[in-house]
Amino acid sequence: MLESLHSKIQKSPFRNIYWFARYLMNTDQYGALGKSKETRLLATVYLLENLMTQNFTDDDEKLIVIKNTLLRELMGMVSPNSKISVLTNNLVNVLKEDIQSLEDIVIFCITVRYVVSPINHALSSIPSNDSDFCRKSASSILETLGEEKAGLVISTWDKLGATGCLNIERTTVVEEFTRLIENLKTLKIEHTLIDDNILLTAFVQEFERRLGQKRKARGGASLETAVSFLFEYYGFNAAKAPEHFNQDLEVDKWFKGKDGWMIGISCKRTLRERWKQLSQADRGTLSRFKINELWHLITYDKDLTDDKIVRLGEQGQIFYLMNESETYKKCSSHIGMKSYVRPLSQLISDIRKNIV
């Protein structure tokens, strides 16, 4: 059954839709013309479609003319001798191999019209950050329950932002998927159920891949935005990173302590993404730049092992964990780790005690 389905897919003229979309969206290898040159691509598609209606001696001649037109137009979208021209040349070379028939030209046009362009426009309606969903709820929590609920603000911000943005994503995917089904009905070329499914799944797969990229960036910024809100709400003055501090270390918020030394706040759901950087930030390096401590606000601590806490704690790094976290309860009562962990409910009072 699977082998039969694989054979049907390989025989379908629609088989390259997913790959054409990936080529056009790929930044590292092919320059992502599908993102940066969408208008020019659509104009090129219109040109190719018009050439398809013209009379040629035979299909071989028509293919040569149209294929060369496409490749020439792609190279004409970028400046010669630029870095992007090298990547575009990679795109041209891979399309030379993949486009072997007039059907392939048609599929390329369908890919731009019904996969690449709709995804670009749909993504523009997806929030790049989740602050719009969260500020009012966060203010209400602090006004009603007080500063010791900073941890609740951070966790609520995280959940509300994720839920709100995912709801918008879901609605957008359904809208675009429905529109694509309607567009399939208007296709003038012959297409089977397998062809339709190849197109639909290519669209969803590429859409979800790009949504995932946006989701990851949004998630990484979520806690940072929440902490920025807390600084703003309580009137704390943030500071710039220490001058000449060139350590490959991501710290989202800095403030200067009363002793003139800096404290950095790192905002990540887990430590996993920054573990390699942090493990290299030894006590001597921090002291050299008058950095007293690094504080880590962690909302998901399942990967926070005793070894990591002790190793980084000895380097002047402190972990703020959810009050109800089992990791916090265990570490806060352990003689070897209790100095390195603090409850998130204590965050605001700790900043207030330390800040200038």
pLDDT at 281: 61
Q: Nearest-CA neighbor of 13 among 190, 150, 175, 171?
A: 190
Per-residue model confidence (pLDDT) at position 275: 54
Q: At what angle do helices 59-75 and 83-98 cross, to 10 degrees?
A: 160
Give the mean pLDDT of the chain.
86
Alpha carbons 31 and 88: distance in angstroms, whole number: 6
| Rounded Cα gap, residues 212 and 205, in angstroms | 10
Q: What DSSP state is assigned to residue 16?
A: G
d(CA 312, CA 296) in angstroms, rounded, equals: 10
User: pLDDT by residue (tens digit) across 29-40?
Assistant: 999 999 999 999
Q: For residue range 88-125, list pLDDT tens digits in order.
A: 999 999 999 999 999 999 999 999 999 999 999 998 87
Q: Which percentage of the chain shows pLDDT scores above 90?
A: 50
- Per-residue pLDDT tens over the stretch 312-334: 898 889 999 988 899 999 999 99
List beta partners, residue 136: none
Q: Residue 350: which pLDDT band, with cuts at 50, 70 and 90?
A: very high
Instruction: Give the Cα separation of 110 and 205 in Å (integer).
Output: 16
User: Which pLDDT band, with edges at 50, 70 and 90, does 12 fall under?
Assistant: confident
pLDDT given for residue 92 in this prediction: 96
3-state secondary structure of 265: strand
Q: What is the pLDDT of residues 64-88, one digit of tens each?
A: 999 999 999 999 999 998 889 999 9
3-state secondary structure of 255: strand
Banded pLDDT at 4 (limits 50, 70, 90): confident
Q: Domains in the chain and their CATH numbers?
A: 2-129+168-218 (no CATH), 253-354 (3.40.91.80)
**Chain segment 144-177, per-residue pLDDT in tens:** 888 888 877 877 776 666 676 777 888 888 999 9
Residue partners of 309: CB distance under 8 A and separation at least 6: 319, 331, 337, 340, 341
